[in-house]
A and B are shown apart, each in its own frame.
Chain A
Amino acid sequence: MIGIFLTGAFIISGWLLYNRNIFVNYALLAIFMALLLVFGLYEFNHINIRELEFFNPDALGVLLLVALCVVAIPVLFHGYRYIEIHNVDETPKSRGLFFGSMVMLIAACSVVYLSGHIAVTWIFIEITTLSASALIYHHRNLRALEGVWKYVFICAISITFVYIGILFLSLSLKDAGIDDMSFESLYTNASKLNPFWLKLAFLFIFTGFTAKLGLVPMYTAGIDAKDKAPAPAGALLASVLMNAGFVSIYRMYAVMSHTPLKHWANTVMIVAALLSIFVATVYMTRIKNIKRMFAYSGIEHMGLVVLGLAAGGIGVYAAILHIILHALIKPSLFLQYNQIYWVYQSKSIYDVGDYFKYNKVGAIVVFLGFISATAMPPSGLFISEFLIFQSLFEAHNILILIVVLVLLTMIIWGFGSNIFKLLFIPPISIDEAKIPKISSWESLTQFVLLGLAVYLAYNPPMIFVNLLQEAVKLIA
């Protein structure tokens, strides 16, 4: 089924690139959407059945794949609205490129989730870089060029780092006399691997994948990318692509967790996570660009996820829950961002205000999105963050817990002061005649995503919990 899906996705993506007919364009998108849903459903019913030698849809992969299916529907719909209705200077060519690369990005991410071999993960992560850069450069102006240049360069360096890591991993396998680099073989033979090379391999692979996950040190590329990409594409970069980075790091960490190096790996991850939260705090309290603010909020959440992972115990469960809920909440903020831009024609916090007056339904989404993203109850993230804090407490990392709580409070303050300025304080100068009328239907999908995040956290279906518990078992 993976073979069929990949072939189908590549054909559709290639066809979209060359197609100029508007009807064919959307027919192809509908076919892709159906293909993706069938694929998601099929893998959901065929967990842990190896396919094409290199793919193993385990519980974690399937969970993230289902989340991707849920996110992809509103993203493609808003992509359609963005291209057809709200952006005047689109041509058939730019439309084809936009949707073609979007299809490619979604397909590559879904395959990364299911990959059971580190080299396959690596190859498809490369493809995500390619398709994401086409999306970032969509507007073809100087700023977009800057964004795409930084993204491509940093991703190229980090993908090289991952490759170096894989080489070191192969050296560590050589000592153990193994030549199978699939994750399963790595898990079973973990104790035989040469610890020195394994350490180096983990360092390089972790550093490399932080470009996709959005952690210190390679997070910078992602921020510019989410800022410059059109908002529907930004929604993908801020959710499914980050999940692809997460799944890669998670599997590598799972290998480490089967060795005595687990504590060393935990230390590395805690340092990276704390620095990420710190960086996010510094920027969130000063930032004046709304879209970049959403992007930095993602850095903060990824820091929390990795912190949970490193704390162990219930933290691993919480980390996976957190990343899934985050993947539902962040796209709704990004998709909503477009409406803010239509009203004010600016990203700067100085030009906006009184949003409740101009777009009531949209303002409610922004408000709920703010509550969700800062993990205040009834946000779903409240549950997962609480569990992460509990795991930190149980692991006797009290000092780290206190630091994180202080930093999070500052983030809420920074995030909140900007959002309340947007929602309630009247703007300095605005031409009210130019404000378009925005239909409240445009916000429907965002409500659904936010609602789903609450539902999954407070009343999780049995099957969801089972899959989560299954995914946690990868870590020893």
Chain B
Amino acid sequence: MTDILLIALAMSLLYISIANRLFTYLNILVFQGFILFGVTFLTLNKISTVNLILIMLETIVFKAISVPWFINYVIRRNGITREAEPYLPNFVSLIIVTFITVATIILSSSIKDPNLDKTFFVVALSTIFTGLYLIVTRKKIITHVIGYIIIENGVFVLSLAVGNEMPNLVNLGIMLDIFASVLILGVFFNRIGDLLKNPDIDHLRNLKD
């Protein structure tokens, strides 16, 4: 069951690579949040109940509801256009994300470690690298934020791989999630939209040498 959920997560990456509209991105974020909830519930069966509830709350309330809602709010308030505006055609993106997934599978098959759950490792790494790829190839600042949140989802999956032995590391990951997301989204809250009516990275190209 865990494997099915993780593979669904990996498939959502392929979908996001060809998504055109920002709201599709948000729907995928919600979808990934629920998948992470399911994976947490199925994987972390050796840790205390309170801790488990905390982690699941984080995935549902934070990852699947608040963050997408807030990004939606930012998009509407600033009147950001719905196009994702990639630099590369969607077809190329699809090829590259597929390539990333295949490369992580090849990488993980070269690791001989009985302690490692390969599915977690492959899905986590391909999510992280897809997030990085999205950041590099999308034009809008808000898609950069979405890319970063996808990276965090990947990191969360990776932390679940060691979660039963070291629950504190998962808690640390939750702290990272909340702290970094609040910090990044906080910049938006602090009137990035008032200063920049169309938050496009083209406006942020003045600081250079």
Contact = CB atoms under 8 A, between A and B. Distances in A.
A159 B209 contact: no
Contacts of A287: 209
B158 A164 contact: yes
Residue with the greatest number of chain B CB neighbours at <10 A, chosen from A137, A156, A197:
A156
Contacts of A167: 155, 158-159, 161-162, 169
A152 B113 contact: no
Interface residues on A, range: 35 or more
B144 A153 contact: yes
Interface stretch (B8-16, B51-59, B180-188): B180-188
A123 B175 contact: yes
**What are the 6 tightest A-B residue pairs by CB atom distance, in nearest-first order?**
A156-B180, A146-B204, A224-B207, A170-B162, A174-B115, A287-B209
A287 B175 CA distance: 39
Residue with the greatest number of chain A CB neighbours at <10 A, chosen from B128, B179, B209:
B209
A79 interface: no
B68 interface: no
Contacts of A147: 207
Contacts of A80: none
A146 B196 CA distance: 10
A156 B206 contact: no
B207 A146 contact: yes
Nearest to B175: A123
A148 interface: yes
A160 B151 contact: yes
Interface residues on B, range: 35 or more
B113 A194 contact: yes
B148 interface: yes
Contacts of A228: 207
B30 to A, nearest CB: 21
Interface string B174-209: 011001100110010010100110000001101101
B187 A149 contact: yes
B180 A160 contact: yes
Interface string A262-293: 00000000000000000000010011110010
A119 interface: yes
Contact of A145 (B116, B144, B195): B195
Given A156-B184, A160-B155, A160-B180, A171 B162 contact: yes
Nearest to B151: A160
Interface string A84-125: 000000000000000000000000000000000001001100
A238 to B, nearest CB: 16
B1 interface: no
B172 interface: yes
A174 B209 contact: no
B115 A163 contact: no
A152 B187 contact: yes
Contacts of A197: 113
B141 interface: yes
B113 A175 contact: yes
Contact of A143 (B144, B183, B206): B206
A197 B168 CA distance: 19
Given A149-B141, A152-B184, A179-B166, A163 B173 contact: yes
